[in-house]
């Protein structure tokens, strides 16, 4: 099979490949014979007629330079929506209706501020565009009621602005992508330690704007916990926050910017906690008889303060499918039960002590040690999941993920409720499915649950997924859990955000939005219900 | 010397005592001969004429029961202002001008909500009153423009609402005081671990509303980091927040309630992380040659992840004065240098391992071990500081504290700038002073600085302190540090809060305030610039 054009796929074109045979066998067996489902070509994507008249655009060119104002088809296509499965399905079908009219690449905070001001003046919707990896519709701004839509590409904000080695802090511009952040900090011996699956293509500003959480969050903490300060361009002026590691100077307004998804301003710089690059990194695997036993064990660890850098517990199905190692999906060793990946990063002594303490507790709780093999395999494949999704979409298999978090006492019942809701919602439409789950982020009081849903694609896969996703979201809300642990709100989670924060919370978000962004041009339709 | 009436003093009347001889010798030597400065009697306190007509109050009585609506002189006096030194000075002089007209003791959330609604309807300023321990003017609501002032005493909201042992979470009502919280949780084997100096008299709701931080925060975390959920009575309805240990569902609105100081609603319940009661608690002392060497050592510890439960480093003067043990002030052992108190709480194995790791690092960094003696003395006196202040005020010695936080690279220069500013501001008025400092809360990226200012009382001690405090605040702001690490904003820090969060931050606070509290009755004049 030929690999389809890359523009509607994830990541590095050189890494795109047909579905591996092992995985093909698995889905063939589960869903019956597969057929190619290829995307249209880039040129065939239908975009809205550009809405902004040339004389209006001249003003923009004066602000950032003519060469940084882009109107061409390909640039517009590449700044359309994000990387959720619905986003990919729409693009593969040639639906570019959410494309921006113009893509602008400002050089730094002042130019961003000028473009923000310009958008307010011309009533142009502004979509901050970092890595473009949103999976919740966070880049599909509302078009109606606006003179046009502008994508503010932050890729030129790519500097390490300052590094304070004594304090262990760094200021990074918002457009810096994950690998570049690690490389810039690594030159000084530091790491951020933030490695979400989107790491290779997501940006510092995006991590902040969506409250991202990485695969090593047990050790390094969620992105929001790494943020000490923020610089934001808003329609009513520049907003700088963060004067100390902690403060009692009123509400923590940084926490209002974190998770604001472009609705309250454009984040241009982030001050972050950094740590010395760990000289040692070890990952290993453990097997539990059941998901419940594994969950109890990771709870025991984190409540005892014995916290490895990485803790990821797959459920029985994910273990059987071997999803933690995408290149080997379907080719698991068949040991059964549930596999837990633990990782330890740091100084040799600390790693050894933590590894020993973890191992002793896990063994006492019934885990069988699997050695470093599964750990190394997980580490190799940790960013590869989205490539596998593309390959599955190519053969008519729908794959999407969703996630939530709750307290420990509710975790297993939430797990059952969400799984059941999704499987039933798909079966009700005649689509057989596999729902795989894992715990990826743990806290003393609870954990996240992450689900990967694999289903036979029906004639209208967008409608198919909407039904399944809605069922999952209703189950999450009914259980009193959060609608999203690390993907964000965007457009997709808006109704459940409103339930979660209540009418008073909605009023507060609206009040902040209206005060900061009186003309309503900042990512309209996103986040704020 | 007779001990003056207790109503204008701190804490337990039985613990009030004259200034110990050792301390008297010290201040005599520093400030010259002392004279008694006693307060007026409770009956002599001048209160505003009650502003609310009897028929209006009948409505209140219907909401909470007539026996919970108090108009008597003593109850009004005891709900006037907080416990800052200026608060005490005003009360000792008989100035009760900030007294509420009426004190109401509702029984639970629904009654609180009803009183909030009633205040909005009658344009009565509402001051939420937990333990009454504010030291930043947080209880002195603005009176002008209102029909009257109501103090909402939360002492009847004193229940443990729920305990989830598996998740390690508890729901406490806002009026529960520190010791009762520990006792209620202790029955189930849990502790909150939150021990600010005000612990014995401060409330759960107050801890949340002011972003309190305790003496064991290195181990247990600041209060805001323990909060998982909040229930708030606002004029536009009940607001409940908190569905998971962590979430990406938009801005973290809990962080808008934490630190809101009654301006956005009355916190009625708080869901908190709790931990098993530690079977072992050990405290010990260490001596460093200088404050700089000690600061470098605590930075080393916390950046290496070797974090004792308690870390408190006194500077040279505080060490000489022996302030960490108030009953022995002035009677220090005279070993010189700077004393660091370290504390370890937990399971025996964990405590031993942490103590060994800490000791090895501290010894390598030049600390001399002082054994458990100084640690035990610190623990015994940890809540006693305010009693000493009362005794000093009795003999005409002004004592007040102030605090800030910054990043490690700025810590020593900030320390010098604040000390110098205060000493100069007092000397400029002809008042000799002693300024004692310590680091009480440490983070990987920085620490708090806490100053105790002791000065000879001039003819107008309020004006004297205002000059010194303003000089300290200007120095903090000029250094880019936060105006408060754990005391809060109240009225006293408002101008510097505005600088710290900038014009956009001020607009955001105002927008939230106006939306939630359109009639502006919630603690008017507090927090929001």
Instruction: Give the number of beta-carbon pairs within 8 Å between A and B.
Output: 280
Predicted pLDDT at A331: 55
Chain B: closest CA distance from residue A300 (Å): 10
Closest-approach residue (CA) in chain B for A233: B504
Say if residue B210's pLDDT is above 80. yes
Say if residue B66's pLDDT is above 70. yes
Average pLDDT for residues B150-160, to the nearest whole number? Answer: 98
Burial B426-449 (b: 16+ CB within 10 A, else e): beebebebbbbbbbbbbbbbbbbb
Going B242 to B243 to B245 to B248, the CA torsion angle's sign is: negative
Which domains does chain A possess?
A: 37-153 (3.30.43.10), 160-276 (3.30.465.10), 280-383 (3.30.70.3450)
The per-residue pLDDT of chain B, averaged, comes to 94
Chain B residues within 8 A of A410 when measuring between CB atoms = 167
Most A CBs within 10 Å, among B248, B409, B473, B478, to test the A interface: B248
Say if residue B246's pLDDT is above 50. yes
Chain B: closest CA distance from residue A122 (Å): 22
Which of B234, B261, B404 is facing A504, going by the closest CB pair?
Answer: B234
Q: Give yes or no for A494 touching B (CB within 8 A).
A: no
Closest CA to A90 of A73, A76, A77: A77
Average pLDDT for residues B123-151, to the nearest whole number? Answer: 97
Average pLDDT for residues A125-131, to the nearest whole number? Answer: 97
Exposed/middle/buried for A252, CB within 10 Å: 0-12, 13-18, 19+? buried
Which of A305, A441, A444 is facing B273, going by the closest CB pair?
Answer: A444
Between chains, do A256 and B255 touch, taking CB under 8 Å as contact? Answer: yes
Predicted pLDDT at B29: 84
**ipTM passes above 0.90:** yes
Q: Tell me the residues of chain A between 133 and 152 that have a Cβ less than 8 Å away from chain B.
A: none
Alpha-helical (H) ranges within A308-407 are 316-321, 348-364, 372-381, 385-393
CA gap B142, A38 in Å, rounded: 68
Predicted pLDDT at B4: 56
Between chains, do A249 and B484 touch, taking CB under 8 Å as contact? Answer: yes
Which of A228, A482, A507 is facing B249, going by the closest CB pair?
Answer: A482
Closest-approach residue (CA) in chain A for B210: A248
Chain A: closest CA distance from residue B39 (Å): 32
Q: pLDDT digits over B101-110, tens only?
A: 999 999 999 9
CA gap A88, A135 in Å, rounded: 10
Q: pLDDT digits over B423-475, tens only?
A: 999 999 999 999 999 999 999 999 999 999 999 999 999 999 999 999 999 99
Chain A residues within 8 A of B487 when measuring between CB atoms = 248
Those residues with Cβ within 8 angstroms of residue B62's Cβ, 6 or more apart along the chain or in another chain: none
Cβ–Cβ < 8 Å for B472, B451: yes
DSSP state of B84: S
Average pLDDT for residues B54-77, to the nearest whole number? Answer: 96
Predicted pLDDT at A1: 46
Q: Which of these ranges, A305-319, A326-340, B489-503, has the smallest mean pLDDT? A: A326-340
Between chains, do A255 and B257 touch, taking CB under 8 Å as contact? Answer: no
Q: CA A338, A341, A347: angle at the middle one, nearest 5? A: 160
Say if residue B60's pLDDT is above 80. yes
Say if residue B327's pLDDT is above 90. no
Say if residue B1's pLDDT is above 50. no
Q: Give yes or no for A224 touching B (CB within 8 A).
A: yes
A298's tokens: 């990771």
Q: pLDDT digits over A15-67, tens only?
A: 888 888 888 888 888 888 888 888 899 999 999 999 999 999 999 999 999 99
Say if residue B522's pLDDT is above 70. yes
- Report the helix count and the strand count for chain B, using DSSP H and E: 18, 19
Q: pLDDT digits over A250-298, tens only?
A: 999 999 999 999 999 999 999 999 999 999 999 999 999 999 999 999 9
Between chains, do A512 and B514 touch, taking CB under 8 Å as contact? Answer: no
**B505 or A50, greater pLDDT:** B505
Which residues is A234 bridged to in the sheet?
A237
Say if residue A456's pLDDT is above 50. yes
Chain B residues within 8 A of A244 when measuring between CB atoms = 404-407, 446, 481-482, 485
Q: For the CA atoms of B58, B62, B63, B69, what is the dihedral angle to 10 degrees?
A: 50
Closest-approach residue (CA) in chain A for B498: A249
Q: pLDDT digits over A373-417, tens only?
A: 999 999 988 888 888 999 999 999 999 999 999 999 999 999 999
Say if residue A319's pLDDT is above 70. yes
Most A CBs within 10 Å, among B273, B409, B445, B492, to test the A interface: B445
Q: Give yes or no for A515 touching B (CB within 8 A).
A: yes
Q: Give yes or no for A212 touching B (CB within 8 A).
A: yes
Q: Give yes or no for A213 touching B (CB within 8 A).
A: yes
Most A CBs within 10 Å, among B206, B239, B247, B478, to test the A interface: B247
Say if residue B513's pLDDT is above 80. yes
Q: pLDDT digits over B358-389, tens only?
A: 999 999 999 999 999 999 999 988 888 888 99
Average pLDDT for residues A453-471, to the nearest whole number? Answer: 97
Residue A324 banded pLDDT, cuts 50, 70, 90:
low
């Amino acid at each position: 099979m030929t690999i389809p054009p890359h523009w509607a796929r994830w990541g590095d074109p050189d890494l795109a490949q047909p579905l591996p045979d092992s995985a093909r066998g698995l889905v063939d067996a589960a869903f019956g014979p597969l057929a190619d489902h290829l995307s249209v070509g880039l040129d065939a994507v239908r975009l809205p007629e550009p809405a902004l008249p040339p004389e209006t655009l001249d003003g923009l060119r004066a602000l950032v330079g003519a060469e940084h104002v882009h109107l061409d088809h390909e640039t517009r296509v590449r700044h359309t929506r994000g990387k959720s499965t619905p986003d990919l399905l729409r693009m593969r079908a040639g639906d570019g209706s959410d494309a921006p009219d113009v893509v602008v690449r400002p050089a730094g905070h002042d130019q961003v501020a000028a473009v923000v001001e310009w958008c307010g003046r011309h009533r142009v919707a502004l979509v901050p565009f970092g890595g473009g990896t949103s999976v919740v519709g966070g880049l599909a701004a509302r078009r109606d009621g606006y003179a046009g839509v502008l994508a503010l590409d932050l890729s030129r904000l790519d500097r390490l602005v300052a590094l304070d080695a004594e304090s262990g802090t760094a200021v990074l511009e918002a457009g810096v992508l994950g690998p570049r952040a690690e490389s810039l900090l690594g030159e000084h011996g530091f790491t951020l330690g933030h490695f979400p699956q989107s790491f290779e293509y997501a940006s510092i500003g995006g991590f902040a704007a969506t409250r991202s959480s990485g695969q090593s969050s047990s050790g390094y903490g969620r992105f929001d916990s790494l943020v000490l300060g923020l610089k934001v361009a808003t329609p009513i002026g520049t907003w700088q926050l963060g004067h100390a590691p902690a403060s009692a100077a009123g509400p923590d307004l940084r926490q209002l910017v974190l998770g604001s998804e472009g609705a309250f301003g454009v984040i241009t710089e982030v001050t972050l906690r950094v740590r010395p690059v760990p000289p040692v990194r070890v990952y290993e695997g453990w097997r539990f008889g059941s998901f419940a036993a594994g969950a109890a064990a990771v709870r025991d660890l984190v409540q005892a303060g014995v916290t490895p850098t990485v803790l990821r517990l797959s459920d029985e199905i994910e273990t059987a499918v071997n999803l933690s190692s995408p290149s080997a999906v379907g080719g698991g060793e068949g040991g059964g039960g549930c596999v837990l990946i633990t990782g330890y990063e740091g100084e040799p002594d600390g790693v050894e002590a933590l590894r020993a303490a973890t191992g002793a507790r896990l063994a006492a709780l019934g885990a069988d040690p699997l050695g470093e093999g599964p750990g190394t395999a997980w580490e190799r494949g940790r960013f590869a999941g989205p490539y596998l999704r593309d390959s599955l979409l190519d053969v008519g298999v729908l794959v999407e993920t969703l996630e939530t978090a709750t307290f420990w006492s509710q975790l297993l019942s939430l797990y059952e409720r969400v799984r059941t809701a999704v499987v039933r919602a798909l079966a009700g439409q005649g689509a057989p499915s596999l729902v795989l789950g894992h715990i990826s982020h743990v806290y003393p009081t609870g954990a996240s649950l992450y689900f990967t849903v694999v289903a036979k694609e029906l004639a209208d896969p967008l409608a198919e997924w909407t039904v399944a996703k809605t069922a999952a979201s209703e189950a999450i809300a009914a259980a009193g859990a959060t609608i999203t642990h690390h993907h964000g709100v965007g457009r997709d989670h808006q109704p459940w955000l409103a339930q979660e924060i209540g009418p008073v919370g909605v009023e507060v978000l609206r009040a902040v939005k209206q005060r900061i962004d009186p003309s309503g041009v900042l990512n309209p339709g996103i986040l704020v219900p």
